[in-house]
Amino acid sequence: MSFTTTTSCSATTINSKLLKGTKKQSSSHVSSSSPKSTRRINCFAGKNEEEKKKTVIKKTEKKKESDDVNDDTTEMMMKKIVSAATALGVSLTMTTMPLVGDDVAQAYEYNQNQTNPSISQLAGLQANPVTNARALLRNSLPIDCKEIRQVQKALESISDDLRVPGVKFSGVEESVNKSLKIVKNDANKIVDKTAPAKKDQVKQYLKDLGTELQDFQTIVANKDKQEVPVAQQKCLSLVTKIEEALVNEFPYQVPAPYDTTLPRLEGRATVEMEVKIKDNAVTSGGKLTIVLDGYNAPVSAGNFTDLIQKKFYDGMKIQRSDGFVVQSGKPENAPKGVDGYIDPATGKERSVPLEIMPESSFMKKKAPEYDFTFEENGMYREQPVLPFNAFGTLAMARREADNNSASSQFFFLLRESELTPSGTNILDGRYTIFGYVVDNQELLRDMKVDDEIVSMKIVRGGENLVKNEREKAPTQEEQAPASE
């Protein structure tokens, strides 16, 4: 289903309104240094007055340059935001399920009603947003251990040093030394926050991490540029294992009715998705690794895990690939009006609610927000724990007008498009994210319509699924009374 002309027009209207507002503001700044002001300055006479004239002109020109730079920057950022809103509003549609439409206009209307909203408020901009899928997953683990978090941040910061030509070895050295110091001095504090059954495991992970960090020091001392990222990932892999082991219990109760009517994933699960790519001279396909996050989207991740275990997606075609998203999940040969999985327990399409964990709830170990978008709840400044920042972000498709109409259709967002920059997208707080592709994301670039999902398998974490399955709905024959 594509958008109506009305939707396209509304997006275009947003574009023109924002740009008109920006131009008007820009012209008002320029008028402050107009020729009329200069003519007034020219009325000065005498040597002292001439010096005053020059001083005033310099200040005026400096202010004009500053204003022009601010105006140009503002207009450039506004155009980028508007282009994202316009393109997504017009282009992002699911298979029979529009992804974004009038909510773009609603977001704009809210911000127009604010008193001088900043660019960051308007676009949800973040300073240096995290775009690495594994880092996002580490950040979203419900743990309270500042020591291991400090190690995590120090090791992740090495990525910035790697971007410096020739590698900034002083920064790498500082991060490695800081991490090793914490591991040596504060290991007991980390172990103390671990459940008794996992203490020995965490002790071994910390010992291994200490060894890897010492090897890392040698690599830094030798200024081995090629080995730095390899050593960094080895250390971060151990940090991830430690942090996962620090989660002692599922942090909250899923609210009714979803706690008893739908499958839920109380933890995480790892998926191996094998795809077959046709008519491609470079690749015939391969396997992607996906991590499903049940800590922050238990119902959506549980629904997906359940369908994988039922082999629902095996053999299914890629149904959309347009540079913005790669999508599938609509049953092939489905009856008219059916967009998702038919639950045998009810004989009807299974519906999954909108489910988004706000950062404020995450910190307090509360349940996600259900049924309503952040905007509908008045949570305009809130950020989701799982954002649309990473290439290969996994989310549920739904009908635009019904927040709770997700079922089996899913999509991977190809975030690197210029129209969906990190921190400026219009999907956060409106659509359910429940996982990220962590390995072989590049295959998403090659997928096109009619390529095949050969299979999906749960390779880790299947025990975290709570099925909540009911008995199969009786058929008409079973419901009919027995003949005498």
pLDDT at 255: 96
Are 325 and 298 in the same domain? yes
Are 157 and 100 in the same domain? no
Mean pLDDT of 136-150: 97
pLDDT at 51: 52
Are 433 and 322 in the same domain? yes
Mean pLDDT of 146-157: 98
Residues constituting the chain = 484
Q: Is cis: bond before 257, omega within 30 of 0?
A: yes
DSSP per-residue codes, 142-174: ----HHHHHHHHHHHTHHHHHTSTT--HHHHHH
Instruction: Give the confidence band of 311 by pLDDT, cuts at 50, 70, 90.
Output: very high
Helix (H, G, I), strand (E, B) or coil at 310: coil
pLDDT at 157: 96
CB 59 within 8 A of CB 65: no
Domain contains 70: yes
Whether the per-residue pLDDT at 89 is higher than 50: the answer is: no
Between 267 and 18, name the one with better pLDDT. 267
Domain contains 333: yes
The model's pLDDT over 382-406, given as tens digits with 9 standing for 90+, comes to: 999 999 999 999 999 999 899 999 9
Are 231 and 334 in the same domain? no
CATH number, domain containing residue 433: 2.40.100.10
Whether the per-residue pLDDT at 365 is higher than 80: the answer is: yes
Spatial separation of the C-alpha atoms in residues 372 and 254, rounded to whole Å:
16
Spatial separation of the C-alpha atoms in residues 450 and 233, rounded to whole Å:
35
Mean pLDDT of 445-467: 97
Report pTM.
Answer: 0.75
Percent of the residues in the chain that have a pLDDT greater than 70, as a whole number: 68
CATH number, domain containing residue 228: 1.20.120.290
Encoding tokens for residue 89? 């509003």
Domain contains 303: yes
Are 267 and 240 in the same domain? no
Strand partners, 271: 290, 458
- Please enumerate in sequence order all residues whose Cβ is within 8 A of that of 337, keeping only pairs 6 or more positions apart, or say none: none
Are 329 and 399 in the same domain? yes
Whether the per-residue pLDDT at 250 is higher than 50: the answer is: yes
Kindly report which listed range (121-125, 166-170, 421-425, 459-463) carries the lowest average pLDDT score.
121-125
Give the number of domains in the chain. 3
Domain contains 132: no
Helix (H, G, I), strand (E, B) or coil at 299: helix
Are 117 and 192 in the same domain? no
Spatial separation of the C-alpha atoms in residues 290 and 456, rounded to whole Å:
10
The model's pLDDT over 182-212, given as tens digits with 9 standing for 90+, comes to: 999 999 999 999 999 999 999 999 999 999 9
pLDDT at 426: 81
> Which of 245, 270, 289 finishes a domain?
245
Encoding tokens for residue 43? 């009325």
Q: H/E element holding 94? A: strand 93-94
Instruction: Give the confidence band of 36 by pLDDT, cuts at 50, 70, 90.
Output: very low
Domain contains 252: no
Domain contains 279: yes
* Residue ranges making up the domain that contains 40: 5-123
Are 270 and 291 in the same domain? yes
Kindly report which listed range (95-99, 152-156, 294-298) carries the lowest average pLDDT score.
95-99
Are 377 and 309 in the same domain? yes
Mean pLDDT of 9-13: 37
> Which of 70, 94, 123 finishes a domain?
123
Percent of the residues in the chain that have a pLDDT greater than 90, as a whole number: 63
Q: Identify the CA nearest to 7 among candidates 105, 122, 84.
A: 105
> Which of 72, 88, 123 finishes a domain?
123
Are 108 and 194 in the same domain? no
pLDDT averaged over every residue in the chain: 79
Whether the per-residue pLDDT at 224 is higher than 90: the answer is: yes
pLDDT at 477: 53
pLDDT at 425: 67
Domain contains 471: no
Instruction: Give the confidence band of 468 by pLDDT, cuts at 50, 70, 90.
Output: confident
Domain contains 130: no
Are 238 and 265 in the same domain? no
Are 199 and 283 in the same domain? no
Whether the per-residue pLDDT at 106 is higher than 60: the answer is: no
pLDDT at 363: 86
